[in-house]
Amino acid sequence: MTMIQCQNLTKIYTKGMGEIRPLDGLDLEVHSGQFLALMGPSGSGKTTLLNLIAGIDLPTSGSLIIDGQDVSTLSRHQLAEWRSQYIGYIFQLYNLVPVLTAYENVELPLLLHPMTRRQRQERVAASLELVGIADRHDHYPRQLSGGQEQRVAIARAIVTDPKIIVADEPTGDLDKPSAHNVMELLQKINRELGTTMIMVTHDPGTSRYAQKTLHLDKGQLVTLDDQEAPA
């Protein structure tokens, strides 16, 4: 089943008298439950594509159909509501709120959903347990290591049970052992929960945790050779 379908997807930014096209007529299909890695040089359109899929930005032209819904036709208000139901976002620098505990950071997305306090507590506890950091629930970000902060960020991304997780350089600020642990966790979430996952990375080692790797260059996609693709 197709979860994401991009057809002739184009994004244009105006800079002075000129135009910048990070995406230029891109076609892409991502199946439900797939773990896809996106690689390419800086300025190739990776993060732009991620933000379009996440509903943070809108394409200039073309269509972006996710689970049967053309999100490029949604208003800003509709897009925000859709994003809260469909998307979990994992950032390179975690983006945790420093004055909130790990528990409170993970709980934040649930405040947009109609549920009781007890239901929120259960969701947060389950997410923290899944990422292996339940014993740090009352710690503030400054009291956590980089790897632990990223685990909290992952728990926050999955707590709403999204259909899609997008991850922008999720290991870019981590040492090698922490990066390995985080990628094993993302693999586990993909396999056990069946969550569709799209990850941007510069690291070939990180991309090998995905099921498929695509390369972006000048707003276009090129599939890597089979021997370079992750197992």
* Contact of 119 with 161, CB cutoff 8 Å: no
Query: At 198, which helix (H) or strand (E)?
Result: strand 196-200
Residue 231 belongs to some domain of the structure: no
Provide the pairing of β-strand 35-39 with 196-200: parallel
Say how many C-beta atoms besides its own lie within 10 A of residue 169's C-beta: 20
Percent of the chain scoring above 70 in pLDDT: 96
Classify residue 229: in a domain, yes or no: no
User: Is residue 77 helix, strand or coil?
Assistant: helix
Q: How confident is the model at residue 195 (pLDDT cuts 50, 70, 90)?
A: very high
In a domain, 209, yes or no: yes
Looking at the domain assignment, is residue 28 inside a domain? Answer: yes
Q: Helix crossing, 117-130 with 146-158: angle to 10°?
A: 130
Domain for residue 10, yes or no? Answer: yes
- Which two structure tokens, joined as six digits, stand for 123? 């969701």
Does some domain include residue 230? Answer: no
46-55, pLDDT tens digit by residue? Answer: 999 999 999 9
Rounded to the nearest 5 degrees, what angle is found at the Cα of 170, between the Cα atoms of 38 and 62? 40
Pairs from 225-229 (Cβ < 8 Å, separation ≥ 24): 228/204
Report pLDDT digits (tens) over 144-187.
999 999 999 999 999 999 999 999 999 988 999 999 999 999 99
118 in a structural domain: yes
Contact of 189 with 165, CB cutoff 8 Å: yes
What burial letters (b/e) apply to 93-107, b meaning 16+ CB within 10 Å? Answer: ebebeeeebbbebbb
* Other residues' Cβ atoms within 10 Å of the Cβ of residue 48: 24
- Integer Cα distance of 131 and 40 in angstroms: 29
Provide the CATH number for the domain around residue 62.
3.40.50.300
Report how many domains make up the chain.
1
Q: What is the pTM of this model?
A: 0.88
Q: What is the mean pLDDT of residues 54-77?
A: 91
Classify residue 228: in a domain, yes or no: no
The domain of 87 spans 2-223
